[in-house]
Structure formats: C-alpha cells, structure tokens
Amino acid sequence: MKQNWIKQKITAWYTAIVIAVILVVVIGILYVTEYYVVKEARLELQDEVSDFYKELNKLQDTSSELLELRYYDDGVVLSIYDAGKKMLDGFYPDEFDISTPFKDGQVQEIREEDGYFMISDRRIEVGGEEYWIRGIYTLNLLQGMSRKLLNYMALIAPFMLLITGFVGYRMIRKALHPIYDLTTMAKDITSSLDLSLRLPEPKTADEMGYLTETFNYMLRHLEDMFKRETRFTADAAHELRTPISVIISHCEYCLEDLELTGEVREELEIICKKARNMSELVSQLLMIARAENGTYRPEYEKTDLILLTDTVLGELREKARKKNITLSLSTRMSNMEITCDFNLIMQMLVNLIDNAINYGRDGGKVEVFMEEKEQQVSIRIKDDGIGIPREEQSKIWNRFYRVDASHSAESGSGLGLFMVKWIVELHKGTIELKSMPELGSIFTVTLPKDIP
C-alpha cells in the first residue's frame, strides 16, 4: 500500500491555503491602496490644474507675469506651453517624456518602466493667444512600493512556506496523536490476542475522546463475545469427551475379545480409528479453549529436549515405516536442557513431525536438526514432501485452516499448526517456515533456554 499519511496531506493543504490567503490579502491590500491613491491623485491633479487655469485667466500681461506663477503645489508640477506646444515656463519630472501628446480636459495615465505619471492638460486663451497648461502627478512611489512589496514577498515566501509547514505539521501531529495510540493499541491487541487491553480514558470530550470511548466499547464487546465463544467450545468439547471414550473402549473391547468376521472387524477398526481422531480433536479443542480464555497454567520444568525429541521420533517411527519414510535426528550436542512445559513441547514436536510424515514423500525422509546458540535452542524439521504453496504459507497457522484436500492429510483437523504457534509463543519463541511445492518444507522453531 502506498504510504500517504493524513498528517502530511493536511500539512500540505494547510500550508497551501495559508500561503494562498496571505497572497490574496497582500495583493488585495496593494490593489485597494493603489485604487485610493490613484483616485486621490486624480482629484488633486484636477484641482491644481483648474486653480492654475483660474490664475492664468486673471493675467493681463502674460509674458512677464508668467514668471510669477507657482509651478509646484501639493505634489503636482505644472508647466505652460504656447500654441506650438513649446514650453514657456514651469517644471516636469526628470523621467517624463515631454513629447507626450496633449489632450484637452482629459486625465491620462502613463505607466512605463521608469515612471508612473498622471497628466491633466487644459487649453486656454489669454489675450487672444492660445496656451496649454499641463499638470503632472508622479506616482513613482506607489509603483516602487508595489514592486518592493512583491519582491519582499517572493524573498520571504520560501521561509513562510517552511515556517507554516513546520508549525502546521507539529500541530497536526499533536492533534492526531491519539490516533497513533489507537493504532499501537490495535497492533498490541492483534499480536498479543489480549482483548482485555484498553486505551487510557480520554481527558477531553472531543472527537478523539469519543473515538477512544467507542474503541474501548468495541473491545469490551469483542472480549465478551470471544469469552462466550471459547466457553461454548470448552463446554462442547468437555461434553463430547465421555461419549467418545465410551465408543473407543467398546470398540476396543469388541476388537480384542469378540470373535468377529473379517468384514465386521474392518468396519469396527474404521469406527475406532475415527473415534480416536475425534478424541484427539476434542482434546485439542479443549486445550485451545483453555489457552484462549487464559485458564491454561503452564508447568515449567527442566527438560532434555534431545531426549524428548528422540522419544517422539520413536513413537512415530511405526507410522513413518508404513510410508517408507526414514526418520533421523542430527545434533552435535549430547543433551539440551531447556525450561519448558513438557507436555506442550511434546505436543508441538508430535504435531510438526507427524505433519512431516503425513505430507512427506513415500520413501522419502524426515530429518530433525537441533542446535544450541547462546541462550537459544533451535529445532529444524525438514521433509521432502509435497510442500506448501507460497500463498498458503501465511494462512496455515489459522484455526481449522487446511490447504486444499489434495494437500491435507485425511485424518487432520487444521488445528495442529495453530496449537504449535500458540505453544511456541507461550514459550516466547519463534517459528519460521520455508517451503517449496513438490520439494518439501522446513519448520524452524527457536526457543529460549529459560523463559524470560
């Protein structure tokens, strides 16, 4: 699954939104400022030009009196021209292009690389002569300010991005922390199968608190259901035990003490075999129920694992012989003492070696290798049988799971490996499987010499 964490997604969105809002606000402020400054400038310019116009109208002797006029007022520079647009007096800003055409009574805006000007021209007749008045308002400051602000923005944008991203990420991580607790708890429950675990009670009545409560409620509910289910399995198995032992003992009596015809004997042998399988299944079910509801109390004692394995191999030798399978034990040690529950470890060895025989090749071999490394022992059970397809390898540890009929022994129940895994985990060990279809399987159990 592609990793795409919510906190990274929210941080990316949040950072993008914050930056977009800042940009919109800055551009908005620039736009509004410009709008009002330009509006004020236009009014001021028109005012000054019409004041100048009135003053000029009052003149009697234009040529000498022109020099006495004021050509600069309230940020507006003024100049006067004759009919041929030759400048007679006044000022204009340095960067202003004096060839800009005159437009009577209009306000022109000239925005160029090196200047931003607003111009107002008026035609006037004094003493029968034509004159032109030009008022210029320089808005360079406004243009410079906008440019500078945008440059600064571009400069600080990466830092803003970093800071908002960093602060946002930390805030979101803090806010989502309870979700990590939930995830860790869910993982703990899955690995330990301990449904009695609960999340710490929420301190605040927010969404996370509500989620925690719901999660705990779900766990309580699951725990109840689970307990009811295991109680039912235990009760059912317990109830089945007696009638099955009665069937077995009656069958055994008939087989041993009665004179039976060949056909009846064969049928009785089948019944007896199936009843024994059933008895085995019921014991396993009882054991699993006790393991799951925590009522199984392991009895740890010092055990020589080599001796125990040898005994198990001895018991299964007859079964292996029927399939012409040779059983062998290889180890460099003479004894291997570990602390374990004797009965459970024996059950584990029986299940693994029995499987190796059941799924082994006729005329093949089952080998057990044992070695000791520091504080651990490892037992490797290798067969050269049918193997387990890769896609089945993670499933075979589940309760009642069996690879399809062609891959499963007729007498099996699908509980053996589930029990093996439980026993190994109870002893704080690990189990690994390597298998190739048609080549065989290797189960490796590693156990600590002393239970930690």
Binding site for ligand ADP (CB under 6 A): 351, 355-356, 359, 383, 385-388, 396, 402-403, 407-409, 412-418, 441
- Smallest distance from ligand ADP to CB 344, Å: 15
Residues 255, 272 contacting (CB under 8 angstroms): yes
Indicate the residue among 320 and 396 with the shorter CB distance to ligand ADP. 396
CB of 5 to ligand ADP, least distance (A): 37
Closer by beta carbon to ligand ADP, 338 or else 419: 419
| Residue 139 or 415 with smaller CB distance to ligand ADP | 415
Of the pair 382, 427, the CB lying nearest ligand ADP is at: 382
Handedness of CA 169, 170, 175, 176 (dihedral sign): positive
* Alpha-carbon distances of 30 from 34, 137, 145, rounded to whole Å: 6, 19, 9
Minimum CB–partner distance for residue 309 and ligand ADP (Å): 16
User: Which residue, 185 or 357, is less far from ligand ADP as judged by CB?
Assistant: 357
Q: How far apart, in whole angstroms, are the C-alpha atoms of residue 22 and residue 38? A: 24
Question: What is the dihedral sign for C-alpha 169, 170, 176, 181?
Answer: positive
Measuring CA to CA, which residue among 136, 138, 135, 132 is closest to residue 88?
132
C-alpha to C-alpha distance for 33 and 38, rounded to whole angstroms: 8
CB of 162 to ligand ADP, least distance (A): 55
Q: How far apart are CA 42 and CA 137, in angstroms?
A: 8
Supply the minimum distance, in Å, between the C-beta of residue 287 and ligand ADP: 13
In what helix (H) or strand (E) does residue 315 lie, and over which residues does it extend?
A: helix 305-322
- Rg, the chain, Cα only: 48
Q: How far is CA 39 from the centre of its chain?
A: 56
Least distance from C-beta 285 to ligand ADP, angstroms?
Answer: 13
Q: What angle do CA 113, 114, 119 make, to 5 degrees?
A: 100
CB-nearer residue toward ligand ADP: 172 or 423 = 423
For ligand ADP, give the closer residue by CB, 77 or 396.
396
Residues 357 and 382: beta-carbon distance below 8 Å: no
Task: Report the nearest approach of ligand ADP to the CB of residue 429 (Å).
Answer: 18
For residue 95, what are its two tokens?
Answer: 């960067």
Least gap, CB of 359 to ligand ADP (angstroms): 3
**Which of 185, 344 has the CB closer to ligand ADP?**
344
d(CA 356, CA 343): 20
The two three-digit tokens of residue 214, written as one number: 């719901």
Three-state DSSP at 78 gives strand
